[in-house]
Structure 1
């Protein structure tokens, strides 16, 4: 009986030891699992897609200082035109409407008036008269050279010939401005109407007249603008003038275009306007996208330095206590892993924040570019225990 009790006692001790070893093994495995997962957040492909989480490498961004400025879109003076009537006349037809694209020399409208017919008749009369005077001048000159004709008669004919020639040239100049063919008029053709031509290539900005209307000389009929060289005209206040220079980059917004446009400064004004006291800065637009019309309001920033640094969008950074965190990304087959990395933040510029990593990374390391606070919340839940999806 004593031997039997001893066997039972030894068996109990062995069994208890085995249970303790098994429990210790489980705790060690659990500890190892925590060390291998740490604070890594696991999200499924569906979660990442639903949250529209964007990822990418750590970019170098120009985070230098800048000067804020407002202004307008403008075109150079040679790229806009106001078409006026050269002579008082009535409009018989209009060939364009606002928004039409026209080439240089295109007929915009036709004009007619009795004065147009009268000036052609006067020209034709003086042209025929000049033919007679030219022949008479040549005859008198030959007689004078041969000492047969009178010098007085020769001088009189010469004066009449030169006077008629000068008057004819004035008529020719007027008819050329009206766009009429002189050779055809000399042949006897009288034009009942005259064209109004476009002086530049561009689009019709406005039509200021109507069919049948009488337009006096210098009356504005059409406005045309060529936006091929549209640029940003910005106002720089006196306190910032010393910061700007030709060659600097400009980032700006207009209401008609989503996102930002970029430009390069090609001219800085040398004289102040007094109300407000500021100078003009002109910048050539690089990406002429969307609807850009002269006169549109511009809000811009002139980047006054060229210092680039590592940066991420503001939505890529989450604050936990006194620390700022970003999240390294690894793509697995069925899920994504997001691991927190502490960073030091710096200068802010247009939605980007300068970041300095406190640990080394490889060139191929990718980071989450948005939803940092959502990932942080998932990580905080995961710290309560368990592998979180």
Structure 2
């Protein structure tokens, strides 16, 4: 009986030892597997991703929208210094005219009177100047009174100022007074193109009376066309004078043009928190028109 109990106890002990060895082997294998995984996934072998750009090396360049514009010095409104009735209107909108070209003719009786005033004043001034010098000579010889001398001087200076006023008015109308003396009075007032460019915004028609200060038309010189862009506060740090841009123009397909920022606005719009940028165009196209829509972006140069 004792031998049987001993045999059973020995059998149970052997079974427990075998189970412990098996568990040790399993544990060793598990630890070895974890070590191997940790060793394989080393930090230097991991992929770095920029959380800001989302798998790109650097941020996208700032982009803007805007329009083509004409600089103020290349945009001229032909404004009338003296009103009148339009008797002739030469160029159609879109016509190219050169500086000094006749673009319109006006009729106004006051214009005729202004020319007459100049010519009369000029003739009277010659007589009054001669009389004033004569009175000066007589005064030195004590043959004339000081009263006559003073009156002669006053008449001479008054007519001189009248002539100068008429001269200035004629020059404002682009009329050379010397030509008026040579050619005589003209019944028509000619309107001359002040610059070379394209005629636009014609505000007149034949027979229409235009008041002084009214614009007859505008003339634009497209040789210096520029871009006016809208930038927002978030992009100000990336924008600098001299920065290069690329842009496309609505209606001209995928053609890419180039320009350079030349001016940055200093006042923020209170409504949309934006400022204006102005850029000069490096490779302008004859198809450019003021007001055409533009999409642009910085090139990083």
TM-score range, shorter chain: 0.7 to 0.9
Question: How many equivalent residue pairs?
Answer: 243
- CA gap 1:188/1:224 in 2 versus in 1, 3 angstroms: closer
SS of the residue 1:183 aligns to: helix
Q: Over residues 312-357 of structure 1, what are the superposed CA-to-partner deviations in whole Å (9 max), with x where a residue is unaligned? A: xxxxxxxxxxxxxxxxxxxxxxxxxxxxxxxxxxxxxxxxxxxxxx
SS of the residue 2:62 aligns to: strand
Q: Over residues 210-262 of structure 1, what are the superposed CA-to-partner deviations in whole Å (9 max), with x where a residue is unaligned? A: 11211111111111111111111111111211211012111111113122211
- CA gap 1:150/1:71 in 2 versus in 1, 3 angstroms: same
Unaligned residue ranges in structure 1 (runs of 5+) = 1-62, 307-389
The answer to whether the 8 A contact 1:256-1:291 is kept is: no
Does the alignment pair 1:232 with 2:227?
yes
SS of the residue 2:125 aligns to: helix
Distance 1:159 1:108 in 2: 43
Look up the match of 2:264: 268
The answer to whether the 8 A contact 1:256-1:292 is kept is: no
Distance 2:260 2:176 in 1: 46
Does the alignment pair 1:298 with 2:278?
no
Look up the match of 1:110: 105
- State TM-score, norm by structure 2: 0.76
Distance 1:229 1:178 in 2: 28
Question: How far did 1:163 drift?
Answer: 1.2
Question: How far did 1:108 drift?
Answer: 0.5
The answer to whether the 8 A contact 1:256-1:290 is kept is: no
Distance 1:104 1:175 in 2: 19
Q: Which moved more, 1:290-299 or 1:177-186?
A: 177-186
- CA gap 1:234/1:147 in 2 versus in 1, 3 angstroms: same
The answer to whether the 8 A contact 2:81-2:213 is kept is: yes
Question: How far did 1:277 drift?
Answer: 1.9
**Which residue, 222, 231, 234 being the options, matches 2:217?**
222
Distance 1:271 1:146 in 2: 72
Look up the match of 2:184: 189
Does the alignment pair 1:137 with 2:132?
yes
Question: How far did 1:112 drift?
Answer: 1.2
Distance 2:276 2:140 in 1: 68
Unaligned residue ranges in structure 2 (runs of 5+) = 1-57
Question: How far did 1:187 drift?
Answer: 5.0
Question: How far did 1:290 drift?
Answer: 4.6
SS of the residue 2:103 aligns to: strand
- CA gap 1:97/1:134 in 2 versus in 1, 3 angstroms: same
Distance 1:249 1:128 in 2: 63
The answer to whether the 8 A contact 2:108-2:189 is kept is: no
**Which residue, 69, 89, 93 being the options, matches 2:88?**
93
Q: Which structure 2 residues correspond to residues 290-369 of structure 1 after superposition, within 5 A?
A: 290-303=286-299, 305-306=300-301
SS of the residue 1:93 aligns to: strand
Question: How far did 1:175 drift?
Answer: 1.4
Look up the match of 1:250: 245
Does the alignment pair 1:76 with 2:67?
no
Larger strand proportion of the pair: 1
Distance 2:286 2:127 in 1: 63
Q: Which structure 2 residues correspond to residues 120-131 of structure 1 after superposition, within 5 A?
A: 120-131=115-126
Distance 2:262 2:174 in 1: 38
**Which residue, 283, 287, 293 being the options, matches 1:287?**
283
